[in-house]
Chains A and B, each alone.
Chain A
Amino acid sequence: MIEDVKELGHRLFVAPRTAWPAAIARVVIGVAILLWAITMAFDSSALLGDDALVGVEFASNRARYLALDSTVAINIALFVLSLVAIAIIVGWRPSLWFLVAFALLVAVQRRNDMILNSGDIILRDLTLLLALAPTGAAMSVDRVRQHGRGSFWTSATVAPWGLRLVQLQLIVVYFFAFWSKSGELWKNGTAVSTAFRLQDLQRFGELSVIVENIWVVTFLTWSTLVVELALAALLWVKRLRPYLIVLGVVLHLTIDALVLVGFFGFAMVAGLMTFLDADRVDAAVKRRTTGRTDELSQPIRSGS
C-alpha cells in the first residue's frame, strides 16, 4: 500500500517528461500579461494615478509589495511589467520573471481593487504558480543559451511537480465555478439568456438567437454546466483530455467573444495548455523539426 502511494507520488510529481505543455502555457500567459500591462497603461492616469477616479486613500490594505501611489510610479511599474512579460514569452529566466510579474500585478491591482474581475485574479494566481514550473525547459532563450541555436525546438525532460499545482488551480476554478451555479436560472436552463442580455457585459451587442430561443438557451446553459463539471472531474483521464481541452478552449472563446470578461479566458486557456500530452507534442515537434532538418540537409544542386 505504502509502495503504491509512493509509486503514484513519483508518477505524479517526479517522473520526467518533456516540458512542452509548461512552455506553451508560459508563452500564452506571457502574452496575456503583456496585453494586460499595455491595456492598463492606457487608463493608468484615470484609474490608478495620483488624481484617479479611485483615490490612493482607497488602495487595498493588503500587501502591495510596492507603494504605487503616483501616475509616474504606476507607469514605470507597467513598463517594467511589459518588459518582464517579454522575458517570459521568450523564455529568459522565466521562473524569476514570473515572480517579479506576480509582485507587480499584485502591486498594480491592489492600488485599485474596484476594477478587478476574476480574470485579473486567475491571471496573477497562474503567474505565481507557473514560477514553480520548469517553463523555460523548452522553446526558450534559456534552452538556446545552454545548448545552442538548434535546441530551440527541443525540450529537456523535467519533473512535473510545479505544473501539477497549475493543473490543480485550473480544476479548482472549474469545480467551484460549477458548484456555485446553484441558482434557479441554471436549473431551469435560462441562465445563459439572462447573462447574455446584460448590456453592460455585452461585447458585440445582443444575439437574439442565444437570448430568445428557448431550445438554444437551454442547450447552452446546461452544456456550460456539463463542460465545467467535465473539466473539473475528467481532465485527469488521459483518453478524454484532448477532447476536454478543445471543449474548454471553445467554451472560453465563446464567452470571450460575447461577454466582457477581460483576461479570464486568456488565462484559463493558458492553464489548459498545461494538460497537453507532453509526449504527443514532443512527437509533433520532432516530426516538424526533423522534416525541416532533412529539407535543409538536401544538397543544393548547381543551376537549380
Chain B
Amino acid sequence: MSLQRRSPVCHDDRMEQGGRPSDGGWQSRVLTERFGRLRVGLLIAIASFWIVAPNIPSSAIRDEVDWLWEPAEEMGLVQDWAVFSPNPRSQSIDVRARIEFDDGSIDFWDVPEFDPTIGALRSYRWHKWQERIRLNNREFRWPAAAEWIAHQYERDGRLPRRVTMIRRWIDHDPLIAGAPAPDSGWNEFEFFVWEREL
C-alpha cells in the first residue's frame, strides 16, 4: 500500500499556445481583447505618471501642472519621500504638559511610551503627533490638545485649572572627529496655556 497524492498543478501544464498568460486572473484575461489591452495601456500610463510626476522638484512649471496629479492625491495615492532630508533634523523633540489643579498640586503629562518591539508600532504615531503639534503653524490645534489633556486628569471631582504645553528639545551639532557627540541638554519653552473657564 502506498500513499499517493495528486500531483500539484504545474504552471507549465496550463500554459496556452502562443505564450499567453494562463489562469492569471482578470489581469491576464483583460489582455486577450484589443480593447482590454488599450485600457491596460492607458491605466499603466496614467498610474506611472501619477507615481513619478508629483516627485519632481518644485518649480514654476511644476506648479502650473500640479492639477494633473490632484486626482491621485485626492484618491489617496500620495508621493512624498523626503526622508531625513535634506538633512536629518538637528533637534530631539518632546512635548509635555504641566497640569495644575485647584488644590495647587501639579502633575505632568508625557506622550505615552510603549515597549520597543511591538509597542514601537504604536509609539511612532504619538511621536509624529508631538513633532507636529509643537509647530507654530499648528497653533489652531493647541487649545483642543490642551483641553484633551486636561480631560484625562479629571478624576474624583479633581479638576485641572490650568494646562501649560511645553516644548522641549536637545540641539544636536554635527559630529566632529575625535570628540564626543556634541549635544546640548534639554531646553524648554512654554508655548501654550489653557485655563478652565470658571
Decide whether A and B assemble into one complex.
yes
Residues on A close to B: CB < 8 A? 13-16, 18-19, 35-36, 39-40, 42-43, 47, 51-55, 57-58, 62-63, 95, 102, 105-106, 110, 114-119, 121, 124-125, 128-129, 132-134, 136-137, 142, 146-159, 161-162, 164-165, 168-169, 172-173, 175-177, 180-186, 188, 190-191, 193-195, 197-201, 203-204, 211-212, 214, 217, 260-264, 282, 286, 289, 293, 296-300
* With contact pairs A133-B27, A193-B175 given, residues A156 and B5 touching in the complex (Cβ less than 8 Å): no
Pick the contact of A176: B6, B40, B81 (CB < 8 A).
B81
Residues on B close to A: CB < 8 A? 1-11, 14-15, 19-28, 31, 40, 43-44, 47-48, 51-52, 55, 73-94, 116, 118, 120-133, 138, 141, 144-145, 148-149, 151, 170, 172, 174-178, 180-181, 183
Pick the contact of A14: B31, B74, B77, B116 (CB < 8 A).
B31
Chain B nearest CB, measured from A128 CB (Å): 6
CB-CB < 8 A to A136: which residues of B?
Answer: 25
* With contact pairs A128-B76, A151-B9, A161-B44 given, residues A137 and B84 touching in the complex (Cβ less than 8 Å): no
Q: Can you name 23 A-B pairs with beta carbons within 8 Å?
A: A14-B31, A19-B24, A118-B81, A132-B27, A148-B9, A150-B8, A156-B24, A156-B25, A165-B51, A177-B82, A180-B83, A180-B86, A185-B87, A193-B181, A194-B90, A195-B84, A198-B88, A200-B92, A212-B180, A282-B11, A289-B8, A296-B3, A299-B1
Chain B nearest CB, measured from A175 CB (Å): 8
Whose C-beta in chain A lies nearest to the C-beta of B123?
A260
Whose C-beta in chain B lies nearest to the C-beta of A15?
B19
CB-CB < 8 A to B40: which residues of A?
Answer: 13, 161
Pick the contact of A134: B24, B48, B55 (CB < 8 A).
B24
CB-CB < 8 A to A19: which residues of B?
Answer: 24
* With contact pairs A129-B47, A193-B175, A199-B170 given, residues A95 and B11 touching in the complex (Cβ less than 8 Å): no
Whose C-beta in chain B lies nearest to the C-beta of A298?
B2
A-B contact count (CB 8 A): 273
Complex Cα spacing A106 to B151, Å: 29
Interface centre among B81, B138, B149, B151 (most CB of A within 10 A): B81
Q: Told that A58-B144, A159-B21, A197-B181 touch, could you supply 4 new A-B pairs with CB distance under 8 A?
A: A36-B121, A51-B148, A180-B83, A180-B85
Pick the contact of A117: B3, B9, B128, B148 (CB < 8 A).
B128
Whose C-beta in chain B lies nearest to the C-beta of A107?
B76
Whose C-beta in chain B lies nearest to the C-beta of A191?
B88
Complex Cα spacing A162 to B83, Å: 26
CB-CB < 8 A to B141: which residues of A?
Answer: 54, 58, 114
The answer to whether A172 touches B51 (Cβ under 8 A) is: yes
Chain A nearest CB, measured from B126 CB (Å): 7
Chain A nearest CB, measured from B145 CB (Å): 6
Chain A nearest CB, measured from B184 CB (Å): 11
The answer to whether B19 touches A194 (Cβ under 8 A) is: no
Pick the contact of B25: A15, A54, A158, A217 (CB < 8 A).
A158
Complex Cα spacing A46 to B15, Å: 53
Whose C-beta in chain A lies nearest to the C-beta of B55?
A176
CB-CB < 8 A to B7: which residues of A?
Answer: 150, 293
The answer to whether A214 touches B24 (Cβ under 8 A) is: no
CB-CB < 8 A to A153: which residues of B?
Answer: 8
Interface centre among A14, A40, A194 (most CB of B within 10 A): A194
